[in-house]
Structure 1
Amino acid sequence: MPGASSRESELVISWIGVDQLCQVVSRDTAMSQIHWLSVNWQVDVPDFGHYFWWDDKGLSLKSAAFDFRSSVHVDFVEGTQARRIKAITGEALTRAMGCHKGLRPAIFDATAGLGGDLSVLANIGCAVCAVERQPVVAALLRDALRRAEDSDVGWCDRVQLECTDSLDLMSHVSHGVVYIDSMFPKDRKSAPSLSMQVLHTLGGIAEKPERLIDAALDSGAARVVVKRPIKADFLGGRVPSSQVTGKTVRFDLYPRRKLTDEDAHPHQGLING
């Protein structure tokens, strides 16, 4: 349920948040890391729109249009994503990035989203420069990283996160891998999850993702990787050199040069997070 906004109506400044237990100290400490958002906290649940929810599990996003028990919540410590991180063995994602024989290239994640893929990559040793342009999505991801850090999850120190448009930073990428998850189209046949619906509603899906691949291919990255639904067209009509295919998605590979140990160095000076 957004209030005022700026930067061409993309950067949400003020949102409503519900904290029925009035956990002011823990809440304010967490929100201090989310400098791009201002949340007006209250105890009453709004009658319409999206709103933040704060409880002992951290920050979530709920919608008055859905069952109250439903929420968008990111957790790297427990649950499905935590199990995926711990069980990673030869996943198509890591092969697409060029992770092999001890090589862990630095990743510029141009579409960080809710962090499902970047957490896997950071866990196996990749330094990840994560960029998410949608402020609400970035807030949920930042809070999940905070909770993982508080739980001494070791890979968190390999992740930098910034809430901005990756197009503004792409030209400064000089090495490693640029990763673009162009998400799923609105007209996909299967019913979208609550998180996917919220991403679409809030504008968390890149409106012109082909601009991302054009910028990535013009950068200094050694490789560009694009995640696509398995039967989707090539992003921007760009035909990849090769592909790594999973059960429901594929990774289109655009190598610019051979990956070397130099590509494992973290991206320095790109972001502040």
Structure 2
Amino acid sequence: MSTTEEAVRPARIPEWMRRPIQTDKEYSETHNALKKNGLHTVCEDAKCPNRHECWNHGTATVMILGNICTRDCRFCSIAFGKPEGLDLDEPRRVADAVEKMKLKHVVITSVTRDDLLDGGAEIFAQTITAVKERVPGLTVEVLTPDFWGRKESLYKVLDAGPIVFNHNVETVKRLQRSIRSGATYERSLKILKMASEYGDGSIRVKTGIMLGLGETNEEVMECLQDIYDHGIRLLTIGQYMAPTRDHAHTKRFVTPKEFVDFEDAAYEIGFDAVASGPLVRSSYRADKMLKA
């Protein structure tokens, strides 16, 4: 085998990345509530390895604004293309599903909609308002695109009152251009910093990165410091797994001990809550991080 062939072959999945698939009554009820209301979830569209665990607990991350993304990032399995219109009834249907799932904490995310002037911020705001009105006491977390760094779009979302604002940096600075389509490290940090400075600071700000894309430990530590310096206090660190052979290859699988080491380092920097592990994703057991 040539050196070139070795370089592009995806890494073999280690045992610690494998987990049994188990479903129960709550899984089926969550699945049915989402499908009955014609909703998409990042759990399915992004092929999250934790969806069975989360759905068994009656929780899910709802994906609004359709399931066609205007950016073709090399790490993401969500379909790329030209979205068709805007579903103005979506906020109501999300509220229906959230009520039927009897959720206490919901994560609302979306595809990137660069075709919309506000990037979909108005639908985000309407959805937040609808689920809070339908389920009093519900806490809402949002995971948004970068809105091209526009403060007016960001504030439209924040004005609706989510308890957590999340936008993922995804990877270290050097790898941004090769991994993220249309996004930049600086713009992501800018939108996160604006969120951290919004209002009275009661909205928690969160971001996440993936490991295994070819970053060095030094670059990871620099990234963590940059994130902290921009006001973010909630952090997730997980393993990148290539969705298909056509996506960016998984360069290596980071060991569980290394994830613990990065978590310890993040706490030393000053983060309030850190979830770091091979199967951690940005919305994994999101309600637990609120207790920090």
- Structure with higher helix content: 2
Fold shared per TM-score above 0.5: no
- Structure with higher strand content: 1
Give the alignment's TM-score, normalised by structure 1: 0.33
Give the alignment's TM-score, normalised by structure 2: 0.31
